[in-house]
Chain A
Amino acid sequence: MFERFTRDKRARDETAIRLENISVRYRVPHERYATLKEHTIRLLQRRVQYDDFLALREVSMTMRRGEVVGIIGRNGAGKSTLLKVIGRVLRPTRGRVLIRGRVAPLLEFGAGFHPELTGRENIFLNGAILGFSRAQMQAKFDRIVDFAELRDFIDAPLRTYSSGMVARLGFAVATDIEPDVLIIDEVLSVGDAAFQLKSAERIQSFRATDATILLVSHNLASVEAMCDRAIWLERGQIVAEGAASSVVRQYRGDDTRAEAKRLAEITKPAPTQRWGTGRIEIVAVRLKNARGEAATIFETGEALILEMDYHAHDAVSSPIFGMAIHRQDGVQITGPNTAFAGLTLPTLEGKGTVTYTVPYLPLLEGLYQVSVAALNHNDTEMFDYHDRCYSFRVINSQNRIRERFGMLTLHGEWTYTHRPANSDVAFGN
């Protein structure tokens, strides 16, 4: 196999990474003893038991130089373990890893920085941590300092910098480190919006070079947009591999099916999520798609229909029915009701159904929760309230909506008027 790693004039065809039947077994003590004292006691009692956990099983793959490969899969599928094996942080239990060139991860801002060192010293130390020699860093130094716009402060200790300055320096260092294989683990830095943006920028600027990029991400849209190829891992094994768009589509399909099943199972609210006087009871809540089928998965731009079956136990005059959509983190996105819409219901007694139709669902990909409510006409009595009991997921499998930022699309339209630079005449008119 080693012959394949010889230098080739056609650099594009070179193999950058080759994994041959990689298995990684973690050996974890049955109970974890954090102290030596405890461990010794257990050891003397011969009571240390281990559990073996196979994080990767017989994984083989090849990456060519210059490729951008995304790794997707659920939590615990072995994605980060795979990155660690490639990044030389973990040695595989079995199998063989061959890597040509220098591997470096994209680090968080300022990882490895020391506050007492000057900006200059930190640049060199950070470079050295990533495996670059002093001479190599010397060549990059001016570019980094100029990019970070910190020339005047470069010999001051880092503790005197503002947090913005530290971030700029971290960014500049990370941007100028050009390994042959760049590893980006977005899963480890969830919630770090700056990191996500940075990784997107890095990938864009890297595509031009010959570097190989490995990206682990939960953001399927970005994997699809940025990667040439994708690998889908499940329980430590490769389930699918190939063109990013096709692997992502397969994964989404599988993910959606599994989730649809799970979400559909939740039909009754837990007692803690429900309150009200009960004069009107909401007995059933259904989400339906445009075709009138019960659904928990929706596409952005699709229709969403919410139906609530009610049971008014005694005559209630002009009650109000409402619903709310929350994002998973609790942010309320909308909260329409019949009163806002100017719909006055008559006095109700007995059973019926109230329907709320959304012709165009503007939400972008994500998991959302629905609350429903029935209350009296002047909002002084809550008859029944189901707090965030029903979930649905919005996906974007056909990529009809290309938007990726924020939580919704305004479904707006872009136009432009162009005024050529030297057309004073046009301005005059």
Chain B
Amino acid sequence: MRASNELVYDSARPRLAIWEDALELFRYRDLLWGLVQRDLTVRYKRSILGFLWTMLNPLLTMIVLTIVFSTLFRFEFQHFAVYLLSGLLLWNFFAQSTTQAIHNLLWAGSLVNKIYIPKPIFVVSALIVGLVNLMLALIPLALIMLISQHPFSPALFFLPIPIALVFMFALGVGLFVTTLAIFFVDVVDIYQVGLMILFYLSPIIYPLSILPERYLFFIRFNPMYYFLELFRQPIYDGTLPAAGLVGRAALLALSALLAGWWFFTKKADEFAYRV
């Protein structure tokens, strides 16, 4: 009988990668928590501004864009601030946490080369930090809704679902780009360009209604569109999203996660001699 506290590593044990990784993440939960705590501490603990910045940053962007769009372009759009900010928050979560995931793993490179650490932990911790930031950023959103007298609908209780789905999606994308970044130095830059393009292709700073009819078809190929809709409808429209939309978003999120995770585990064993 093997004592249960005795760790035994057997490289030949047949493994179901995803299940194994999930177990390892649980075993290393103290490290996961430590990494999350580290990033949050570095950002918030020793600077009041860091905390305010998380709220101020989207607010300032929103103010600028609101002025630009409603005065310069003069289009009529009710509660544009709420529409804009809700989209911006979700986008920031996605863009920032996937980018941070790359930096996390590159930082950990020298450690991963010497010590066994379940590598997805660096991506997951970046995502959790992003999630905390998103939660904090919901506070200024609520403030804006109060100020602009936007109605709070009971549909808001649906929000955890889109947040969970976009988390899964971002995790999948994060694992994917992180793996690429380990192998190629220019991925960080390429990814930033890609993010910028996706940002303008997504209905974040503009409403879908300004798009000409013939382009509307193409928006279906933008995965962010589904998550944005899912997140925005309860906030802006005060309605529950249609089941079909939820289903499509869930399918997207799940397949991104599985594909990203599969790619990551497939290549993870090679990290040690690439970083």
Contacts and interface: CB of A to CB of B under 8 A. Distances in A.
The answer to whether A and B come from one shared complex is yes
Interface of A: 2, 5-7, 26-27, 33-37, 39, 84-85, 87-92, 95-105, 107, 111-112, 114, 116-117, 121, 124-125, 128-134, 157, 185, 188
A134 B34 CA distance: 9
Contacts of A130: 115
A96 B115 contact: no
A129 B11 contact: no
A88 B110 contact: no
A147 B235 CA distance: 55
Closest 3 CB pairs of A and B: A88-B116, A128-B31, A36-B184
Interface stretch (B35-43, B94-102, B247-255): B35-43
Interface string B190-216: 100000000000000000000000000
26 contacts: A2-B10, A5-B2, A7-B3, A39-B184, A87-B114, A87-B116, A89-B113, A89-B272, A90-B269, A90-B272, A96-B12, A97-B10, A98-B11, A99-B8, A99-B9, A100-B7, A104-B115, A111-B111, A116-B46, A117-B38, A121-B38, A124-B30, A131-B28, A131-B31, A131-B115, A188-B114
Contact of A125 (B3, B7, B34, B272): B34
B1 interface: yes
Interface string B110-130: 111111110000000000000
Interface residues on B, range: 35 or more
B103 to A, nearest CB: 13
B269 A91 contact: yes
Contact of B11 (A34, A96, A104): A96
A35 B272 contact: no
Nearest to B10: A98
Given A89-B116, A104-B115, A133-B30, 9 more contacts: A7-B1, A27-B270, A34-B184, A89-B114, A90-B269, A96-B11, A98-B8, A103-B9, A129-B34
A117 B42 contact: yes
Given A36-B180, A39-B184, A100-B6, A129 B117 contact: yes
Contacts of B10: 2, 96-99
B273 interface: yes
Q: Which of B3, B30, B37, B186 has the most CB of A within 10 A?
A: B30
Contacts, number: 123
Contacts of A103: 9, 116
A39 B270 CA distance: 17
Contacts of A91: 11, 269
A84 B116 CA distance: 9
Given A99-B9, A117-B38, A6 B1 contact: yes
Contacts of B35: 125
Given A89-B272, A104-B115, A125-B38, A34 B3 contact: no
Contacts of A35: 184-186
